[in-house]
Amino acid sequence: MTLIALRAGVRWVQYRQKDKSRRQLYEEALGLRRLTADFGAVFIVNDYADIAAAVDADGVHLGQDDLPIAEARKVMGGDRIIGISTHSIKEAVEAESAGADYIGFGPVFPTLTKDAGEPKGVKSLREIKQAVRIPVVAIGGISLKNLPSVISAGADSVAVASAILKGDIEENAGEFLRRIGKFSRKI
């Protein structure tokens, strides 16, 4: 699936796996690092700064209950990307103050990918964008149908899983990239 998305033009890949041993996580992450490097894509490991560092990932994406940003920075080094999931203005401002390079905000819409709580909506996304200066990645239930509202609310990027993985991955990823490209030319 990752290979197909990369061939379609996806250039950021986040590895998120919750049900495997740390050894399995490492081995899969290592394979994905090699694959993403072949495409010049950014590779982010979810939750585990040590595994991200061990496989030479471009960065780590933390949850609110993961290693604090300052500690992840010690593990990752100053030149790696550190992102963190946020669900409120308070969390977003704290993440920026702690040195996050970007925040993931959401879920913006209902999502089946994970239990992420009540949807926050595009109004909250707009408020987050006004509260922080670092990039904001909209997460949760992003589809081709609601993409324009997310971009209009100020999202710097979107994290998409289900809308790409259900059906023809190459076609779905390509359509997201085409539409995002149209929006970015208008900004």
| Nearby residues of 163 by Cβ (< 8 Å), 6 or more positions away | 142, 143, 144, 172, 176
Instruction: Please tell me which residue in 33, 85, 120, 129 is annotated as part of the active site.
Output: 85
Is 184 a known active-site residue?
Answer: no
Residues 177, 103: Cα–Cα separation, whole Å: 21
Is 22 a known active-site residue?
Answer: no
Is 85 a known active-site residue?
Answer: yes
Instruction: Please tell me which residue in 7, 11, 16, 123 is annotated as part of the active site.
Output: 16
What are the strands of the beta sheet with 102-105, ordered from one edge? Answer: 12-15, 42-46, 59-62, 81-86, 102-105, 136-139, 157-159
Instruction: Please tell me which residue in 11, 34, 90, 114 is annotated as part of the active site.
Output: 114
Residues 133, 113: Cα–Cα separation, whole Å: 28
Q: Catalytic amino acids?
A: 16, 85, 114
